[in-house]
Amino acid sequence: MILQALNDYYARLLAAPKKDVPEFGFGRQGVHFCLILDRSGALAGRPMDLRDEKGRPSRIEVPGPVGRSVGIRSNFAWDNTGYVLGADDKGKPERTAETHAAFKALAAGVLDGVDDKGARALLAFLDDWDPARASELPGWENMVGLNVVFMLDGEPGFLHDRSAFRKAWLERLSDNDEFATGRCLVTGEIGPIPPTHAKIKGVPGAQMAGASLISFNFDAAKSYGKEQNLNSPVSEQAAFAYTTALNHLLAPDSPRKVQVGETTVVFWADGPGEAEPLFGFGMGGRKTEDDALAARLERYLTDMAKGKYPDELGEASTPFYVLGLSPNAARLSVRFWHVGTVGEMAENLGRHFRALALQRRFDSDPEHPSPWRLLKELAPQRDAKNMSPLLFGQFVRSIVQGLPYPQTLLSSAIGRIRADKEVNYLRAAVIKAFLVRNRKQEIPMTLDTTNTDIGYRLGRLFAIVERIQEEAVPGANATVRDRFFASAAATPARTFPIIMKNAQHGLAKIRKDKPGWAVTLDKAIQEIVGGIDAATGFPASMPSEKQGMFILGYYQQRQDFYTKKEKNTED
């Protein structure tokens, strides 16, 4: 269904009033210069420089472009100077002569019998041209080896854009009998089946020249003696459509993609509305420069987290597609594929943010952290390189489809906290989301003193113990958290007696300066310990789910101290 959906998407892009995808048989290519011909086919004036001020070529729609590896295959009515003018700086004059001959032959073949002044001018120019004259062209040293197109003097537009040229080129393509024919598995129609498809560009980590979504590049992938893409017949039209649509989604400035570690996620909706930018925003895609839009998107997320559907997203039943790709050398692999509706997407995104919702520690903490922010928090050294691509794929899929989160989410969050003893907002939020969705725990955003879960209570107790130490021994080298956090969470029965004893010493010290505060803390301890089942006492060990509750109890209790302190200073 992926190819079908991309094929349909291409058709929609093509039908849009402001179309920014090329038609079948054409593609965008960086072109540097334009040669201007008069009607007799002579050069008129200096070649026009199409590059911008930074020397980048302008990307224009041209016929083709052909896929080229080592063989000689010319493009029609445009190409690099080696093909067009028979002169380049590669130092292989024989080969350059061959490429020029191929260019002339193709142009003559396509434009044969075309009644058009542009066609006549181009053919006359090619008949007349002597490659040795190339070096006399003004600005030749800048132009050598680069792509050039043609223009007719005094006429608007490029030669290859003239309707006669486009028509002749499309006829040429439809006459193409170079491919075997077969049933297309995308459209179901019989047509020519090209052995290779255009490359997909814009997936970081894949090869620079692009990678293939569909390819059969080693023996074990081939079946029934079929070669290359004959293993999976896709017609030329459909192959063009799906590669063009996918390249469009993956374009560098595309608002419909999110890059997370190794995985690139593209998404598109089947109709109008702001669902696409919203999804990109929620998943941490390219930040929009439009402040009004950003504010609006933030509001949608807040609405959705409350279970409301923002009308600006358009019809809730509009189909919505999410495709996750990751590179594997010259190939792309599909990490996930989801077909849903805009309404379902909004609901699932809302549910996800509802599960995550937790009181923030700082105002700078994001209210709607993206999956990428969250998973980076769980990666060693917070390095995107250490993020697990598998976990990311599973995480995004569980968000998009409203499924339970991957099991490894909890264990890697606990693992990270054990390793660096840092319990921050993002980590606590991940753990909360996991416990809420996968373990059906009821956990409010802020401290819940009525929660009797043993893990949660011990976490709170630990926060108080730490607090006592902070007050009693300010600036301690190794705090109780540094030394005991991991073992307190995993094996409370072994750890708590020790730290509770230390806490009593701490309390005694605080009592000398601030007797009232000491009583408050002591009461808090009594209240928590009183809620622990006396028969079982401190558990000998706690499973990861309870450790998650421990971390949350700790975070929320600690957060509670901060909030109270703020109130006190205000008074």
DSSP string over 320-331: EEEEEEEEETTE
Q: Which of 22, 47, 118, 233 binds other proteins (CB under 8 A)?
A: 233
- 332 contacts other proteins (rule: CB under 8 A): yes
- 469 contacts other proteins (rule: CB under 8 A): no
- 331 contacts other proteins (rule: CB under 8 A): yes
Residue corresponding to tokens 């309707």: 163
Residues within window 363-422 making contact with other proteins, judged by CB under 8 A: 390, 393-394, 397, 403
Residue among 234 and 528 whose Cβ is closer to other proteins: 234
Cross-strand partners of 62: 27
- 234 contacts other proteins (rule: CB under 8 A): yes
- 213 contacts other proteins (rule: CB under 8 A): yes
Q: Is 454 exposed, middle or buried (0-12, 13-18, 19+ CB in 10 A)?
A: buried
Residues binding other proteins: number (CB under 8 A): 43
Q: CB–CB of 242/282 below 8 Å?
A: no
Cross-strand partners of 92: none
Residue among 169 and 372 whose Cβ is closer to other proteins: 372
Question: At its nearest, how many Å lie between other proteins and the CB of residue 235?
Answer: 11
Question: Residue 340 CA to chain centroid, in angstroms?
Answer: 18
Q: Among 52-60, 142-150, 183-191, 455-463, which window interacts with other proteins (CB under 8 A)? A: 183-191
- 182 contacts other proteins (rule: CB under 8 A): yes
Q: Could you tell me which residues come within 8 angstroms of residue 337 by beta carbon, excluding any fewer than 6 positions away?
A: 1, 2, 321, 322, 323, 324
Question: At its nearest, how many Å lie between other proteins and the CB of residue 263?
Answer: 10
- 326 contacts other proteins (rule: CB under 8 A): yes
Give the H or E element holding residue 258.
Answer: strand 257-260
Residue among 80 and 263 whose Cβ is closer to other proteins: 263
Residue corresponding to tokens 């790709």: 325
Nearest to 361 by CA among 437, 420, 422: 422
Q: Which of 143, 173, 186, 499 binds other proteins (CB under 8 A)?
A: 186
Residues within window 3-22 making contact with other proteins, judged by CB under 8 A: 3-4
Residue among 300 and 336 whose Cβ is closer to other proteins: 336
The CA radius of gyration of the chain, in Å to the nearest whole number, is: 33
Residue among 270 and 274 whose Cβ is closer to other proteins: 270
CA–CA gap between residue 401 and residue 415 (Å, rounded): 26
Q: CB–CB of 485/462 below 8 Å?
A: yes
- 342 contacts other proteins (rule: CB under 8 A): no
Ordered strands of the 79-80 beta sheet: 48-49, 33-37, 147-152, 79-80
Q: Which of 15, 208, 220, 535 binds other proteins (CB under 8 A)?
A: 220
Question: At its nearest, how many Å lie between other proteins and the CB of residue 375?
Answer: 15
Dihedral in degrees, nearest 10, Cα atoms 77, 79, 85, 91: -160
Q: Which of 74, 81, 99, 215 binds other proteins (CB under 8 A)?
A: 215
- 207 contacts other proteins (rule: CB under 8 A): no
- 316 contacts other proteins (rule: CB under 8 A): no
DSSP 255: T
Interacting residues with other proteins (CB under 8 A): 1-4, 182-188, 213-226, 231-234, 326, 328, 331-337, 390, 393-394, 397, 403
